[in-house]
Amino acid sequence: MNYLKTSILLSALTSIILFAGFLLGGEGGIIIAIIIAIFTNFFAYWNSDKILLKMYGAYEISMHTEPIYYNTVRNLARNSGLPMPKVYILENDQPNAFATGRNPENGAVAATTGLLSTLNKNEVAGVMAHELAHIKNRDTLIMTITATLAGALTMLATFAMFFGGRSRNGFLGSMGSILIIIIAPIAASLVQMAISRTREYEADKIGAEICGNPEWLASALEKLDSTSHYIENKDAENNPASAHLFIVNPIHKKSIDNLFSTHPKVTNRVKILRGMVNTSHNLKTGPWG
């Protein structure tokens, strides 16, 4: 059902882009919208992971430089049947993490220094298992496409702001430009956030199965949620389009309305995970115990 919902939402986002193109320039506008969407998606498919990691100043680590963190990811990747991803660290005090990569063979996971210093070994394992679940489910590619399509729509809105509509119907052209400028980016954001929320619940479930103990992730989420209230992530604040990639919302809650949150409520996620604890057997008691 989650995959069906994601497909429907992606189709809705594509339809918004095509409709925006039509309002902006009639049939010719649709062609322009298609070209923009294809180009941006092609570029994002091959380069989004590199751009994202560079944007946050992430640096790659190895078993020799960060043995505990690296071995945690390696063991979890083995448990999940995934190829070993590249492992990165972000110099950031806010405890958080994300995954990227166009497919499991090119996957990468990144954790902030704040996360590694705040969580215990079990909780770090829970978080990284969640990120590996995103790679396993190919959410990293889905969310990249979503963000890119949303960016393409924003590009059309900017074009409409400066050049206006060129529809054969003058009134439709003017009204179309207004609709694109005001409504289209909001609609794109809502669809993008709905997709993100859908994928987060699924990654929680798969991540709990990968690490073997849902309580590790539940406990980690509670800690991450509480600290995000008062520790700022300036890079995320400056690049809100990437906020959906993190395990918890990196943008200060005081600056956004819940309607526009890229993540489901942590309390709901924790409740579901602890429900898994109550029905699970043979739970692990340590990172690899």
Residues annotated as part of the active site? 131
CA dist 58 and 50 (Å) reads: 10
CA dist 218 and 206 (Å) reads: 13
In the chain, DSSP assigns E strands to 59-60, 86-90, 97-100, 108-112
The angle subtended at Cα 234 by Cα 231 and Cα 239, nearest 5°, is 130
- Nearest partner of 191 among 3, 58, 1, 7, judged by Cα: 7
Strands 86-90 and 97-100: unpaired
CA dist 227 and 80 (Å) reads: 29
Neighbours of 97 (CB within 10 A): 25
